[in-house]
Chains A and B, each alone.
Chain A
Amino acid sequence: MTFPILSLIVFIPMVAAVIMLLIPAERRNETRAVALAAATFDLLLAAWVYVQYLVNEMTGYQFVETYRWLPQLGISLKFGVDGMSAPLVLLTGIVMFTGVLISWGVDDNHHPAGIQDRPREFFAFLFILASGVFGVFASLDLFMLFFFYEIAVFPMYLLIAIWGWVKTREYAAMKLTLYLFVGSVISLVGALAMYWAAYQSTGVLSFDMLLLEKANFPLNFQVAWFLPVFFGFAVLGGIFPFHNWSPDGHVAAPTAVSMFHAGVLMKLGAFAALRVGIMLLPEGAKYWSWLVMLLAGIAVVYGAFIAFQQTDMKYMIGFSSVSHMGLVMLGLSTLNKTGLTGAGVQMFSHGVMTALFFAVTGMIYDRSHTRQIPELGGMNKIMPFASVGFIIGGLVSMGMPGFSGFIAEFPIFMGVWHVNSLLAIVASISIVLTAAYILRNIRDVFFRPMPDNLEGHITDVTVLDKIAIVTLCTFMIGIGLFPSVMVPMVQTGVENILRLLGGA
């Protein structure tokens, strides 16, 4: 029995949440300290897993732990990571860590920042959410995957409805929860169908995904169930035309939750769609890949156009997320090596990037109380640090060489080109559009003269904010300059998927 590192990663946030709830409500700084300690510890563990995987040039599923949970029905608690999920576990660690930093909150009425209203409950719910996310990325058991998936969904409602932006939070929170819940339960029925079908063909009652991968479901079964399963999860990945909840949710959510939501939760959808949809139903994936590709292509271009139209920074980033997640889906739908690798890296890259965007937007909003681009300006003078961070994020978003975005998007377009060159050309319009709206945003918000009404009211970001920005930027530049720290690893995961696709 090896050291149960993945279980630790998954359950530490949960334990921390319980501890925080037991701390009396008045002791706000202690609560925050527990949150930060747990987040740091989790990030270190996640990084350790990642580095181990990388240094030892591992392939396949590693760090596997199995606990029998309900043997009568073949449910077990089985954790393990492969080249696809290890970066995502790391990503969750990063976002969790930075999310805690920027919502630290200062109990000072003159310069409110972060979370002041009931921080204890806020961090507790946020950590339960994080636990669920880690659980999904690490689960190798279909039942447990659903279990953690739902755990990751429901705290969102409370986090948005309680701490969100007053104007739209109730509406957005309910919309988001219902969308995601519809998606997940529909996938759940599909998963149960797979479970019984596998039982009929193999005679083993098990939710273990490694066994289900070998089940060889009949073709018509795969074709029929791929759509509900894939799209049920892809709702959370923001696939067109089910993306509608996402920008509303981003806008209404408090900063750290937006970071989690766009940075990690949407990856959760894409990842689960890949794990359950494509890997367990490979023939179905082949049959329907044209549809996924078409919808993803629409999302890429349409999301970019809508983002271009927005004047609210958060809406702009929200739709840009739809566009970028469209690229992930596009990469998945190619079902070839370059495309899938690109999708894997894009998940990580977009997660870090969008977390940074939302963090900086939150910092600006906390100080200026507006996110309307026309009403902002001159931020570069006051918060040069945040401004540099935002520009780096912008360059990643545009796919500039030297940043992680390039490493991710270039292979995706290459992969799409192999399958459908016309679509690749159309989708690449989004790069131009992205450059346009990002650069316009940078010009207006950071470099234009500051409007008079804001003059003198804006202060620089705090030290904790700076740490968060540096952390996020380090990863984006690091991967851009040294793709070898991530690409080969993702490729090992891709090899496995291709084996399933080819072997079926």
Chain B
Amino acid sequence: MLFIFAAAMTTLFMMDVEKLGRRGESYLLLLASTLGMNLMASASDLVMLYLAIETTSIPLYVLSGFMVDDEKSTESGFKYLLFGAMTSAVMLYGFSLLFGFTGTTNLYEIAAAIAGAQVSTVTALGVITLILVGLGFKVSLVPFHFWAPDTYEGAPTPVAGFLSTASKAAGFAVLVRLFFIAFAKNGLSPDWTTGLAVLATLTMTLGNLVAMTQTNIKRLLAYSSIAHAGYAMIGVVAFSDLGATSVIFYLIAYILTNLAAFGIVAVFSRVSGSDRIADYAGLSRRSPWLAMAMLVAFLSLAGMPPFGGFVAKVFVFAAAVKADMIWLAFVGVINSILGVYYYLTVLKVVYLYRMEGEAEESHPIPLTRPYGIALVVLSLGVLLIGTLFAPWFGASGAAALNLF
């Protein structure tokens, strides 16, 4: 788990070089946030967990609003801050109730207390709901997703990429840990799995449907990342070893893919100054390699082999079918079809349409070295996960065990 984040981080750094790179503070904030994420993934105590979540979030609030002379960036940072502060307060209330009912902040002892029927089911479910508000915000589950498109659109692109991947993955790590350890009691799990399954369905469907109508690539990616949170939730809902492994595998594939996608957007907007999808016309003639990287990233997001997204989706669905949630698997596959539609629409613009005046030759897109390296690494990574998936699967399994 840790090294995954670290890897994501280094690549991100490369991407950062040009854009925010002139300000040393941004790196500091990024590192602080990363530290928070590592703690989030490893904390087994409520207080520690809360601190870690805040350590992660606060630098990110700043980073989203980092470009102070840009109104959108400021707005995005502020929006993120307001939403974040609000939801984390609700979550903190949930934590404090949990402490009040069980008398401990250690997750394992809480689990024992709940299993020992010291807490009634209704109370436990209430607490779960409160906590879910905070975590749902982090991973952008549907009723708590409103911040995502606005923030991603306004934030500097690499930061948006970071928000949509590493931050989300850390949220999932906490989610898996809390639900698989603290609330794993037999009588309790059917209740919350049903609830989460409904949330997952809503998240996938809404994310995909709204993504279809977007004309701004960052907003499209934002809604697509909401949808992907829904797919990953399927693994949580399946509530088994395979489920946890598949969530982590999904996140690995998703982090690499989405970082690549945001990286490409960053490169493109730096040259053209635009995030409109229509402006991507002629990209495959302007820069065949960038177009190829985009093909890899978007097809992986769409869940096509031989890229990581396909295998990851299959594992998640396999976990769902194993848990006898066939309806959920069907919801997932139908959603992935919606996804294919809008990803292909973007690729169509990239490969099929031409720039006005067919002047692609005179508008090349130069790739700076850090971007180049990062994109190559990410694209190859996506390809490797999609083909030689055994080692990754093993790593995810080990990571899943560590979470317990």
* Partner pick for A186 among B292, B321, B333, B394, CB 8 A cutoff: B333
**Inter-subunit contact A182/B347 (CB<8 Å):** no
B317 adjacent to chain A (CB < 8 Å): yes
Asked if B347 contacts A158 (CB within 8 A), the reply is yes
Q: Is B195 an interface residue (CB 8 A)?
A: no
- Given A70-B389, A72-B394, A192-B317, is A151 in contact with B305 using a C-beta cutoff of 8 Å? yes
Comparing B113-121, B169-177, B337-345, the segment that makes contact with chain A is B337-345
**Majority SS of interface residues in chain B?**
helix
Q: Is the CB of A196 within 8 A of B321?
A: yes
- A177 partner residues in chain B, CB cutoff 8 A: 340, 344
Asked if A170 and B340 make an inter-chain contact with CB atoms under 8 angstroms apart, the answer reads no
A161 within 8 Å of B by Cβ? yes
CB atoms of A178 and B340 under 8 A apart: yes
B344 / chain A contacts, CB cutoff of 8 Å: 157, 174, 177
User: Is B276's beta carbon under 8 Å from chain A?
Assistant: no
A185 CB contact (under 8 Å) in B305, B322, B337, B390:
B337
Inter-chain contacts of B304 with A (CB < 8 A):
150-151, 153-154
Q: Is B336 an interface residue (CB 8 A)?
A: yes
Q: Please measure, in the bound complex, the distance between the C-alpha atom of A250 and the C-alpha atom of B288, giving whole angstroms.
A: 27
Does B351 lie within 8 Å of A158, measured CB to CB? yes
Alpha-carbon distance between A378 and B330 when the two chains are bound, in angstroms: 54
B370 within 8 A of partner (CB): no
Question: Which residues of chain B are near A158, meaning CB under 8 Å?
Answer: 347, 351
CA distance A162 to B292 in the complex (A): 14
Contact of B333 among A147, A150, A189, A196 (CB under 8 A): A189
Q: How far is the CA of A154 from the CA of B339 in the complex (A)?
A: 14
Contacts of A186 in B (CB 8 A): 330, 333
Q: Would A192 and B321 count as touching, CB distance under 8 A? A: yes
Size of the B side of the interface (Cβ < 8 Å), in residues, is 34
Query: Given the known A-B contacts A158-B351, A161-B348, A174-B341, are A189 and B329 also in contact in the complex, defined by CB atoms under 8 Å?
Result: yes
- When distances are taken between beta carbons in the complex, the residues of chain B under 8 Å from A170 are 348, 352
Contact B393 A196 (CB under 8 A): no
Q: Are B333 and A188 in contact (CB under 8 A)?
A: yes
User: What is the CA–CA distance of A153 and B305 in the complex, to the nearest angstrom?
Assistant: 10
Cβ of B351 and Cβ of A147 under 8 Å apart? no
Contact pick for A178, options B317, B329, B333, B337, CB 8 Å: B337
- Does B306 lie at the interface of the complex (its beta carbon under 8 Å from any beta carbon of A)? yes
A70/B329 contact (C-beta < 8 A), A170-B348, A181-B340, A192-B318 known: no
Q: Does A458 contact B (CB under 8 A)?
A: no
B282 at the interface (CB under 8 A from A): no
User: Which of A72, A153, A181 has the most B CB atoms < 10 Å from its CB?
Assistant: A181
Q: Are B314 and A143 in contact (CB under 8 A)?
A: yes
Within 8 Å of chain B (Cβ to Cβ): is A73?
A: yes
- Least CB distance from B286 to A in Å reads 13
Contact with A along B336-369 (1 / 0, CB 8 A): 1100110011011001100000000000000000
CB <8 Å contact, B310 and A147: yes
Name the CB-closest residue of B to A169: B352
A69 located at the interface, meaning its Cβ lies under 8 Å from any Cβ of chain B in the complex: yes
Q: Would you give the shortest CB distance from B306 to chain A, in whole angstroms? A: 6
A188:B322 contact, CB within 8 angstroms? no
Q: How far is the CA of A195 from the CA of B315 in the complex (A)?
A: 12
Q: How far is it, in angstroms, between the C-alpha of A193 and the C-alpha of B324 when the chains are bound?
A: 9
The residue of chain A having its C-beta at the shortest distance from the C-beta of B338 within the complex is A178
Of all chain B residues, the one with the shortest Cβ separation from A170 is: B348
A241 at the interface (CB under 8 A from B): no
B299 CB–A CB distance under 8 Å? yes
Q: Is the CB of A162 within 8 A of B326?
A: no
In this assembly, does B397 line the interface, its C-beta being within 8 Å of a C-beta of chain A? yes
Residues of chain B within 8 A (CB-CB) of A196 are 318, 321-322
For residue A456, which residues in chain B have a CB less than 8 angstroms away from its CB? Answer: none
Q: Quote the shortest CB–CB distance from B392 to chain A (angstroms).
A: 9
Residues of A within 8 A of B351 (CB): 158, 161-162
Interface string of A10-23 (1 = CB under 8 A from B): 00000000000100
Residues of B within 8 A of A70 (CB): 389-390, 393
Task: Assess whether A127 is interfacial by the CB under 8 Å rule.
Answer: no
A71 at the interface (CB under 8 A from B): yes
Chain A to chain B: the 9 pairs with minimum beta-carbon distance, closest first: A185-B333, A192-B321, A70-B390, A154-B304, A150-B305, A147-B305, A192-B318, A189-B329, A196-B322
Can you name 14 A-B residue pairings with CB atoms under 8 Å? A70-B389, A73-B315, A147-B306, A147-B310, A150-B305, A161-B351, A177-B344, A185-B333, A185-B337, A188-B314, A188-B317, A188-B333, A195-B318, A196-B321
6 extra A-B contacts, CB within 8 A, seeds A69-B389, A170-B352, A174-B345: A71-B390, A157-B344, A161-B348, A181-B336, A182-B334, A188-B317
A-side residues, CB < 8 A to B, are 21, 25, 68-73, 121, 143, 146-148, 150-151, 153-154, 157-158, 161-162, 170, 174, 177-178, 181-182, 185-186, 188-189, 192-193, 195-196
